[in-house]
Amino acid sequence: MTQTEKDYNTLFSLSKKIRLYDSISYLLEWDQETYMPKKGKEIRAEQLALMASLSHQERTSKNYEQTLKKLIDLDSGEILDKNLPTHLQASIREWRRDFLKATSLPNVFVQEFARLASESTAAWAEARKQNRFSDFAPYLEKIIEQSRIKAEYLGYKDHPYDALIDCFEPNVTTAEIETLFSNLKKKITTLLHAILSSKQVDDRFLHGKFHAGKQLAFGRELLEAMGYDMEKGRLDLSNHPFSMTLHPSDSRVTTRIHRSSLFDSISAVLHEGGHSLYEMGLMPEYYGSPLCEAVSLGIHESQSRLWETRIGQSKPFWKYFLPLLKKYFKQLEKVNLSQFYKAINKVAPTFIRVESDEVTYSLHVILRFELEKKLIEGTLQVDEIPEAWNELMGTYLGIIPPTDREGCLQDIHWSMGAFGYFPTYTLGNLYAAHFFDAFEKKYPDWEEAVAKGNITFLTEWLKDKIHRHGRLYNAHELVKRVSGKKTSETLYLKYLTEKYGEIYHLGA
Amino acid sequence: MTQTEKDYNTLFSLSKKIRLYDSISYLLEWDQETYMPKKGKEIRAEQLALMASLSHQERTSKNYEQTLKKLIDLDSGEILDKNLPTHLQASIREWRRDFLKATSLPNVFVQEFARLASESTAAWAEARKQNRFSDFAPYLEKIIEQSRIKAEYLGYKDHPYDALIDCFEPNVTTAEIETLFSNLKKKITTLLHAILSSKQVDDRFLHGKFHAGKQLAFGRELLEAMGYDMEKGRLDLSNHPFSMTLHPSDSRVTTRIHRSSLFDSISAVLHEGGHSLYEMGLMPEYYGSPLCEAVSLGIHESQSRLWETRIGQSKPFWKYFLPLLKKYFKQLEKVNLSQFYKAINKVAPTFIRVESDEVTYSLHVILRFELEKKLIEGTLQVDEIPEAWNELMGTYLGIIPPTDREGCLQDIHWSMGAFGYFPTYTLGNLYAAHFFDAFEKKYPDWEEAVAKGNITFLTEWLKDKIHRHGRLYNAHELVKRVSGKKTSETLYLKYLTEKYGEIYHLGA
């Protein structure tokens, strides 16, 4: 073993310890959202804080820094031993990235920000309940002020918002998102207007009474069909659906069951299942290094949205699954495939982002991005948010929330200090369009297979093309590698236009 | 604040951190036994090892030692500031005890022992499956050898086994247990012979087909009746019933459901519920100090056995609960209280300790204690175990296991290196007899109340007399304080003799 290999292994061990700390935090969080007794909350907060501090301590330690420095020049990012295999070089490059990120924020700042975010989240929840934006405003002001300081600590070239995006979507800039989003906005609003002028879709049969246990059982069938290994995961209930990964061999999903609405949980299961399949597809032998980590939130979202929309809202998928679904829910007996397909793809503007359809979803995200950018720049003041929000809702979606609860108070993100997060939702859809385009080229007959219930060849393909690489490539590199094209909005718009053109009989 | 109070608080913080580490390990274990996906096992072992090492590191650190030394003389055990309130002095005294215990074993030894125990447990499981004691014997030899070394490290006055008991039941000696057990053995075998010569009890209606979901639902009713707060705990399924406490506000129980046998899960729920009520009754403001910790395994067992046997196998309890049970299980409709009471108290020697009745249970424990003591002394060799086991089974219970699987291979304890553990099961019964005697004196009409479904006054009494004190008193002090008597076998034997004398119509 060379000295470099020894140093690499030392860093790998340190990094694996951090990963173990984090995986323990994830279990604490999973339990909190699923089975924890109500009054266990207080001690849970202390357990989580302890694990977070251990993880932070380790990832910013002198020991860690010195080991890293033996492998890479921290300033220039130059790998010291060029004989190392490419994937190990990539790993070191990403370790440096994480280290610089972790150490650029002073400990005191991190703790203060965490405390503020925790208080703000509580204040937001109460303000939303009371439907009083003004109660949340002073917290939000502080959060924005601190986010600006955070951006300065992190550093950026052109725009402070760049630094914030980079925490969730490495190497993507504000300018780039602006270009993508302005094209999307134009084309999607045009498409939306055309849809709204057409004959509307009937989806009443998706609402009624649907036994919770049966919904769960059907959800498990879906997961198994996706190739989700039930010995490496499980499906439980929680207030908000999520996917939680301790290791590629333990990646769990949750869903929320509405007894009166059938498709919500189906969507959630496919979405969270997509996230978990990504984590299950990482290579366990690299566990503890960036080679066994997801690229970015956007790439993660591409996996969940691909399963949720490209498969779970497709006709061939339901050609196979609708008959199974009817076995669970006799009331759907007379619904045919075409009716079902249209209903699950119904487009109708709604105030609430998480309830929105595939066409309007991006508009919700773009609205938030535009406000966030201005808030960070200082060209929009906190007290101006409700008006600005409602105005954009009117412009993009043609509807205006009656109160802030259905408007600017609906999302938790700002209260948590997660500025820069929202764009990744839409980036995920764009990435998914690139990936699915490549998949369709490789498997032009995919619809026939899926209509027979064979879907795991997609899982395998995603694992081969995306999952197994971990952070070997960044998002844009990966998109280019898989699809042969630079990330753009074109493929996504093409998909939306064709699909909804057919459903709503729009002229070509 | 005085300097002593400051030092106390410093130690309290350090100790609380250790408690948090351990509480996180407990959640990892709880999850492992309840909901963890099968293939999550490997990473779970790493997470547990990491938390165990953090906990051990902290509790044996120089920093910890130096803080402790400011409060107590480590050699003599003399508290340095006599002005401290008694309960804080007790806390410091127990901290010293734990520190000396933790530091008396070299790190290398602890790690080696843990590795050996882990290997031995796997070897034991396989040997039991194959029903070949000889496959397990070499591991057991090493475990015994290491346990002897452990005893030397820990130190003892009279017998190396004293040091091992002391790990589970502080301040109790081999000699003391020998006296208690020899009296018990004599009286119980006499009682057993009388019972076996009498008319046998019919318990066939406890065996049949009992819906698992209904058993669970009834279990939850029992827990609530006991005063178990469902917002501070929960009931789940696992392979072996257990109680797991993260904090007085998060103490969970599990049970195992046999569809063909009704009373197993009822017993398990009452037993584990008793353990959890103890932990829920500790004072959360002391969390992190010995004042919020259970006294010993024996005292813990006294709480579980008190609920399981003194209440859960009593007539007044079932006067109230049998009608409820019949609502769940129609097949019991024609069973009357007297039949039910006799059936759940049926005495019949069995090979398996965990399936044994209240009368024979202690004989199983005494047999193990006698073998353990000889093994540690070196007066019994490992290859002589099967014969010695079967001989004692014949003498005490009048039955001889057909194979070692039903004999000396049945328990996991030795493979885990838990020599000294078994006696605590019987000590628990003796302590429970003392506590219940005091309770009956305080509430001579308890049977009437319980027969009406009012039981929480017992929970409150136990909390007041036992739980809330934490480790303020040791086991014998607590027994003396509550019952006014020195720990002995008398009250327990009186209870057994009277109860089973009535059930089996034995002459007085």
The model's pLDDT over A37-62, given as tens digits with 9 standing for 90+, comes to 999 998 999 999 999 999 999 999 99
**Alpha carbon of B334 to those of B141, B166, B329, B382, B452: distances in Å?**
54, 50, 11, 51, 21
What gap in Å lies between CA A164 and CA A313, rounded to an integer? 33
Task: Report the 10 Å Cβ neighbour count for B214.
Answer: 15
pLDDT on residue B408: 98
Average pLDDT, chain B: 96
Q: Which residues of A touch B250 (CB under 8 A)?
A: 36-37, 39-40, 43-44
CB pairs under 8 A between A and B: 99
List the single residue in A with minimal CA-CA distance to B43. Answer: A247
Per the listing, tokens 């639902």 go with B217
pLDDT given for residue B456 in this prediction: 98
Q: Provide φ and ψ at A246, rounded to 5°.
A: -95, -25
Secondary structure, 3-state, A431-484: HHHHHHHHHHHHCCCHHHHHHCCCCHHHHHHHHHHCHHHCCCCCHHHHHHHHHC
**Which among A24, A42, A287 has the least Cβ separation from residue B24?**
A24
Contact B187, B363 (CB under 8 A): no
Distance, CA of A406 to CA of A350 (rounded, Å): 9
Question: Each residue of B443-456: pLDDT tens digit?
Answer: 999 999 999 999 99
State phi, psi for A252 to the nearest 5 degrees: -105, 155
Residue A292 has pLDDT above 80, yes or no: yes
Tokens representing B372 are 């353990």
Q: Which residues of B touch A (CB under 8 A)?
A: 17, 20-21, 23-24, 27-28, 31, 35-40, 42-44, 46-47, 50-51, 54, 229-234, 236, 246-247, 249-250, 252, 287
Alpha carbon distance A385, A133 (integer Å) = 9
Contact A23 B47 (CB under 8 A): yes
For residue B358, what pLDDT is reported? Answer: 96
Taking only the tens place, the pLDDT of each residue in B141-186 is: 999 999 999 999 999 999 999 999 999 999 999 999 999 999 999 9
Express each pLDDT in A182-214 by its tens digit: 999 999 999 999 999 999 999 999 999 999 999
**Of the partner residues B47, B231, B232, the one whose CB lies closest to the CB of residue A24:** B47
For residue A79, list its beta bridge partners: A72
Contacts with A20 from chain B: Cβ below 8 Å: 43, 46-47, 50
Q: Which of B42, B249, B287 sits opposite A249 (nearest CB)?
A: B42
B20, B42, B47 ranked by CB distance to A46: nearest:
B20
pLDDT of residue B507: 75
User: Which residue reads 């270009």 in tokens?
Assistant: A179
Separation of CA A430 from chain center: 13
* CA gap B219, B130 in Å, rounded: 35
Cβ distance B42 to A236 less than 8 Å, yes or no, reads no
Question: Tens digits of per-residue pLDDT, A314-335?
Answer: 999 999 999 999 999 999 999 9
CA distance A231 to chain B (A): 5
Strands B250-255 and B235-237: parallel
pLDDT of residue A507: 75
| Mean pLDDT of all residues in A154-158 | 96
Residue B213 to residue B198: CA distance in whole angstroms: 37
Q: For helices A475-483 and A297-305, what crossing angle results, to 10°?
A: 40
A21 to chain B: closest CA residue:
B47
Question: Confidence class of residue A508 from pLDDT cuts 50, 70 and 90?
Answer: low
Report DSSP state, residue B290: G
Q: Chain A: nearest CA to B449, how far in angstroms?
A: 29
Distance in angstroms (rounded) separating the CA atoms of residues B278 and B274: 6
Average pLDDT score over residue span A100-105: 94
Share above pLDDT 70 across residues of chain A, in percent, rounded to a whole number = 100
| CB-CB neighbors (< 8 A) of A229 in chain B | 39
What pLDDT, on a 0 to 100 scale, did the predictor assign at position A501?
Answer: 97
Q: Pick the catalytic residue: B272, B279, B308, B358?
A: B272
Tokens of B164: 């091992």
Q: What mean pLDDT do residues A120-139 have?
A: 96
| Distance separating alpha carbons of residues B393 and B365, to the nearest angstrom | 11
pLDDT at B261 over 80: yes
With 60 as the cut, is the pLDDT of residue B458 above it? yes
Cα–Cα dist A323/A334, whole Å: 11
What is the per-residue pLDDT for B111? 87
Q: Which pLDDT value is given to residue B172?
A: 96
The amino acid sitting at B253 is: V
The chain-wide mean pLDDT, for chain A, equals: 96
- pLDDT at residue B26, rounded to an integer: 97
Among residues B118, B308, B350, B151, which one has the least CA distance to residue B222? B308
Contact yes or no for B250/B232 (Cβ under 8 A): yes
Which one of A94, A272, A370, A372 is the catalytic residue?
A: A272
> Known catalytic residue: B272?
yes
Helix (H) or strand (E) holding A246: strand A243-247
Cβ <8 Å between A37 and B232: yes
**Rounded percentage of chain B residues whose pLDDT exceeds 70:** 100
Q: Which of A21, A234, A247 sits opposite B43 (nearest CB)?
A: A247
> What is the interface pTM, i.e. ipTM, of the complex?
0.94
- For B88-109, the pLDDT digits (tens) are 999 999 999 999 999 999 989 9
Report how far apart, in Å, the C-alpha atoms of A61 and of each of A56, A234, A285, B285 are.
Answer: 8, 36, 25, 33
Q: Which of B18, B50, B51, B57 to mutate to test the interface with A (most CBs of A within 10 A)?
A: B50
Distance from CA of B42 to the nearest CA of A (A): 9
Across A366-405, b (16+ Cβ under 10 Å) vs e yields bbbbbbbbbbbeeebebeebbebbbebbeebbeeebeebb
Q: Which of A29, A31, A245, A287 would best serve as a mutation to test chain B binding (most B beta carbons within 10 A)? A: A31
Q: How much is the average pLDDT of A391-420?
A: 96
CA A289 – CA A17 distance, rounded (Å): 10
Q: Could you give the dihedral angle defined by the CA atoms of residues B304, B306, B307 and B313, in that order, rounded to the nearest 10 degrees? A: 130
Q: Give the full edge-to-edge strand order of the sheet including B250-255.
A: B235-237, B250-255, B243-247
Residues 6+ apart with CB under 8 A from B355: none
CA angle (A434 as vertex; A431, A436 as ends), nearest 5: 105
Type of residue at A287: Y
- Residues of chain A found within 8 Å of residue B230, distances taken between Cβ atoms: 37
* Cα dihedral across residues B361, B362, B365, B367: positive or negative: negative
Q: Which residues contact A354 (CB under 8 A, 6 or more apart)?
A: none
For residues B224 and B226, give the distance between their C-alpha atoms in angstroms, rounded to a whole number. Answer: 5
Q: Is B39 within 8 Å of A246 when comparing Cβ atoms?
A: no
Cβ-count burial of B338 within 10 angstroms (0-12 exposed, 13-18 middle, 19+ buried)?
A: exposed
* C-alpha distances in Å from residue A51, one per residue of A21, A26, A54, B200, B227: 6, 10, 5, 58, 33
> DSSP characters for B142-178?
HHHHHHHHHHHHH--SS-HHHHHHHTTSTT--HHHHH
Percent of chain A with pLDDT over 90: 97
| pLDDT value at A9 more than 80 | yes
Count, residues in chain B: 508
Neighbours of B461 (CB within 10 A): 18
**B contact test, residue of A13, A24, A238 with most B CBs within 10 A:** A24
Residues from chain B that touch A28, judged by Cβ atoms under 8 A, are: 24, 27
Confidence band of A222 (pLDDT split at 50, 70, 90): very high
Within 10 angstroms of residue B331's Cβ, the number of other Cβ atoms is 12
For residue A130, how many other CB atoms are within 10 A of its CB?
A: 13
Q: Which of B17, B31, B250 sits opposite A43 (nearest CB)?
A: B250
Q: Kind and range of the H or E element at B246?
A: strand B243-247
pLDDT of B432 reads: 98
Residue A261 has pLDDT above 60, yes or no: yes
Instruction: Kindly tell me the burial class for residue A1, based on how many C-beta atoms sit within 10 Å of its own C-beta (0-12, 13-18, 19 or more).
Output: exposed
How far apart CA A252 and CA A250 sit, in angstroms, is 6
Q: What is the mean pLDDT of residues A228-257?
A: 97
- Determine the Cα–Cα distance for residues B266 and A413; give it in Å rounded to an integer: 46
Phi, psi of B506 (to 5 degrees): -85, 145
Averaged pLDDT, A99-111: 92
- In eight-state DSSP terms, residue B21 is H
Cβ neighbour number for residue A11 with a 10 Å cutoff: 24
- Tell whether the model's pLDDT for residue B508 goes beyond 70: no
Is residue A149 within 8 Å of A110, Cβ to Cβ?
no
Q: Looking at chain B, which residue has its C-alpha nearest residue A38?
A: B231
Residue A107: predicted pLDDT: 86
Q: Do B37 and A287 touch (CB under 8 A)?
A: no
Q: What is the mean pLDDT of residues A302-308?
A: 98
